[in-house]
Amino acid sequence: MAGRVGIERIHVFGWRDLDDDEAGGSEVHADSIESIWARAGLQVTHRTSFSSGRPPSDVRNGYRVSRRGNRYLVFPRAAVAELTGRLGPTDAVIEIWNGVPFLSPWWWHGPTSVWLHHV
């Protein structure tokens, strides 16, 4: 369905990585959806904060993982990476909100969505 509307490359922004010692349900959910999308042929990049003992770049379950910045710097660094094209081209942006938004409507002018795992 995404391909029919021109979405083939998706960038997902989350503050914590699945491999982080404090990862929880939000990260498990994101991995599940991103894995399904990758198997369906979408190019998915997950941008998150650095996780101790993990490489800055990785491939997990068919999607790319980019780990940069700490839990707070990940927010501005993700926006700068997207604006400068460091993550490659994208057709849509997904934000995973866990208390602090990435504010993507301010810096991205394509399709966006938010995954909010708790209220």
Residue ranges of domains in the chain, CATH in brackets: 3-116 (3.40.50.2000)
pLDDT at residue 1 is higher than 80: no
**Mean pLDDT computed over 13-38:** 92
**Structure confidence at residue 2 as a pLDDT band (50, 70, 90):** low
Give the C-alpha separation, 62 to 36, whole Å.
Answer: 9
Give the C-alpha separation, 90 to 82, whole Å.
Answer: 9
pLDDT tens column, 75-88: 888 899 889 988 88
Model pLDDT, residue 67? 94
Prediction pTM value: 0.90
Give the C-alpha separation, 28 to 109, whole Å.
Answer: 28
- Residue 70 CB neighbour total at 10 angstroms: 10
What percent of the chain shows pLDDT beyond 70? 95
pLDDT tens column, 53-83: 899 999 999 999 999 988 888 888 889 988 9
